[in-house]
């Protein structure tokens, strides 16, 4: 599989560990950086990975920052990206099976290399189940497409 990977300075060490593992497993890895532990801005790397995935240049993306939250927020701003934050292998399996997540974000502060490797393996191996989950994702896509429209909410204001 062709996978893009990126990290800011706080995620650099974990990203390197994952990059080496992915290459050893036979994947083609597009590493967008960062390439050292000097301070950087996480949105730059999230955008690069997300755009590679959204354009089809890579099949999936992996992002690492201190908490994983900033990367997931930034990646989700790119149309067609469904980035999920990974904490546990079963959670990652469900995000792939039910939400068709195409970018996995990890927090280097909370994730050791062994756990990260396991979650990445699950992320890459788990297929999307479709069915009722596809219907729900279509509704999520509708939300994304409707952002230029004025929101209308029915309900009772008190």
Q: What structural domains and CATH numbers belong to the chain? A: 2-128 (3.40.1400.10)
The catalytically annotated residue of 9, 27, 88, 98 is 98
Tell me if residue 88 is catalytic: no
User: Span 90-102, mean pLDDT?
Assistant: 97
The catalytically annotated residue of 9, 27, 65, 133 is 65
CA atoms within 13 A on the CB side of 5: 26
User: Span 2-17, mean pLDDT?
Assistant: 98
pLDDT at residue 152, rounded to an integer: 64
User: Span 64-68, mean pLDDT?
Assistant: 98
pLDDT at residue 66, rounded to an integer: 98
pLDDT at residue 125, rounded to an integer: 98
User: Span 20-41, mean pLDDT?
Assistant: 98
User: Span 51-75, mean pLDDT?
Assistant: 98
User: Span 68-73, mean pLDDT?
Assistant: 98
pLDDT confidence bin for 151, thresholds 50/70/90? low
Q: Which conformational region is residue 80 in: left (phi greater than 0), alpha (psi within -120 to 50 degrees), or beta?
A: left
Residue whose entry in the numeric block shows the structure tokens 């050893």: 24
Please tell me the pTM assigned to this model: 0.91
CA 1 to chain centre: 15
């Amino acid at each position: 599989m062709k996978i893009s990977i990126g990290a800011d300075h706080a995620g650099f060490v974990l990203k390197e560990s994952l990059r080496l593992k992915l290459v050893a497993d036979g994947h083609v890895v597009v590493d967008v950086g960062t390439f050292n532990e000097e301070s950087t801005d996480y949105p730059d790397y999230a955008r690069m990975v997300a755009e590679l995935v959204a354009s089809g240049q890579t099949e999936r993306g992996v992002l690492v920052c201190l908490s994983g939250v900033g990367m997931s927020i930034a990646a989700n701003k790119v149309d067609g990206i469904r980035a999920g934050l990974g904490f546990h292998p079963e959670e990652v399996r469900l995000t792939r099976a039910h939400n068709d997540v195409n970018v996995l974000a990890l927090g280097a502060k909370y994730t050791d290399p062994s756990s990260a490797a396991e979650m990445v393996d699950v992320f890459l191996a788990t297929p999307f189940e479709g069915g009722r989950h596809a219907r729900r994702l279509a509704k999520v896509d509708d939300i994304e497409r409707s952002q230029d429209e004025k929101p209308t909410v029915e309900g009772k204001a008190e």
